[in-house]
Amino acid sequence: MIRAVATDIDGTLTVSRNNYKLAIEAIKAIRLLEEHGIPVILISGNALPIVVGLSRYIGTSGPVLGENGCVIFYKGRKYYVTRETARNVAEIVYKELKDYVIYSWQNSYREIDYALDIRKEHSKNSGFIISKINEILHERGIMSIKVLFSGFATHLVPKSCGKAEGLKFASKLLGVSLDEILGVGDGLNDVELLETVGFPATVSNADPELKKIAKYVASKPSGAGFSEIVERILSGRLG
């Protein structure tokens, strides 16, 4: 039985994977879940204030997870999955690769996970840039940080946290088991989210790695696909 839904935002609740506009049908679907007593957990690589703002105006009641699950806000209180931070490592990487990346404006609001946006002229070279970042970490003996790519930004995240660890923490706050959570994502940074929940699902335009994990792949992309998944939950055809 599905007692909660955990969802990524960018590429999952948006109109597509390459813009920031929320899909109206996805917002309506979230509100339907909430009306049926199924709390929605937002989990994103965005800074926590952004995700909390979205939660408030969309109308979700579950824990809110920012910074790829490293920081959580629930019922007026903030929780940290770890106290480690990637701040200094992000500064090192930026100095080495400033011709390729930009220090994200969101870093002013981050505490654990730090993001580097890929410059537009190098947007098609994300694989090369990620490999260079991993090379820098290896050369400097930095073993405590992992590199994630959301499709929008490159994230430097302490290995002691992430969407899996964040969701484990959030499930305890909410009082539901991981087996009772349906998770939805679209990008590579959502792999651990889908691997952690009892009901992994994804949208039609998700990365192939997620489709291999998912128990259900929507026939529609992004926000429309999320809405399709919710319709199946509420009609009893999923979970």
Domains 4-81+161-234 and 87-158 share a fold: no
Domain ranges of the chain: 4-81+161-234, 87-158
pLDDT tens digits, one per residue of 7-18: 999 999 999 998
CA distance 32 to 26: 10
Residue written as token pair 């994230």: 155
Catalytic site residue 99? no
Closest C-alpha to 73, from 154, 157, 169, 161: 169
Res 234: pLDDT: 97
pLDDT tens digits, one per residue of 101-115: 999 999 999 999 999
pTM summary value: 0.95
Indicate the pLDDT class of residue 172, thresholds 50, 70 and 90: very high
Helix axes 87-97 and 126-139, enclosed angle (nearest 10): 120
- Is residue 152's pLDDT more than 80? no
The CATH number that domain 87-158 falls under is 3.90.1070.10
Res 92: pLDDT: 96
Specify the DSSP class assigned to residue 199: E
pLDDT tens digits, one per residue of 192-220: 999 999 999 999 999 999 999 999 999 99
Give the amino acid at 114: Y
- From 8, 10, 113, 186, active-site residue: 8
**CATH of the structural domain 4-81+161-234, one choice from 3.40.50.720, 3.30.460.80, 3.40.30.10, 3.40.50.1000:** 3.40.50.1000
